[in-house]
Amino acid sequence: MNSSSIFPQPFRAVGCAECRNVEALGFDFTMAFQLIVDIEERRPFAYEALVRGRNGESAAEVLGRVNDGNRYRFDQACRVKAIEQATQLGLLDLSDCLLSINFLPNAVYRAETCIRATLEAAQRFEFPRERLMFEVTEGEQIHDAEHLKRIFAEYGKQGFTTAIDDFGAGYSGLNLLAEFQPHVLKLDMALTRGIDQDPVRQAIVAGIVLVARRLNICIIAEGIETAGERDALRELGIRYMQGFLFARPAQDRLCLP
């Protein structure tokens, strides 16, 4: 499937100011930020921006309002809002800490055009583009792998960090990794949950760690809730982790390790 079939309606790129226009989107939302910690140095490695409703609605409720008619504008608005709110909460004061933003590849028509609002927002809020990480979830069906490769290539050229989220839980697995290699793989909690008690999961994750090292890819383990999971993953060579053991998502602050 090519890009034109993903975007049946006439496409028009929008800029930073227009992306902040929630009336045009049709609903409002905010962001919560969850810590990704560097276990070795006990410092923040990144914060992931997660959509939330203004009245406490979950991410699923917000995403349930996204459709073919507003997907592009929503994706653009998420980027701008994440940069704006992270700046307001002081993320730039944390040395070298990244801001991780989820994006919808099926909402990107042409990478070099659709990145305009992101670059404008980074300039507006004086946010270094090299501190932005863009995650695509493996769980989202990719209509056109070549399209995603072009997006990742353009993002790399712009200086962004690229990541595959929920790795090991979606449609493609290693086939997706064989097509293109991001800077970061985020291991899904289906692989990390209870790993300290599960030799099979330990073997699978050890294999992924080996592949990632060969490809010079960083690994983040998601969904960590117990000290046992943390310690088992550290033994497997993973130093970056995310989960309730370290911090829950928060809207009004950036939680520290």
Positions marked active-site:
222
Q: Give CA–CA dist 82/3, Å, rounded.
A: 26
Q: How do strand 184-187 and strand 161-167 relate by DSSP bridges?
A: parallel
Nearest-angstrom CA–CA distance, 50 and 56: 12
| Burial track 161-182 (b if 16+ CB lie within 10 A, e otherwise) | bbbbbbbbbbebeeebbeebeb
- CA dist., res. 154 & res. 37, Å (int): 27
DSSP calls for 24-55: HHTS--EEEEEEEEETTTTEEEEEEEEEE-TT
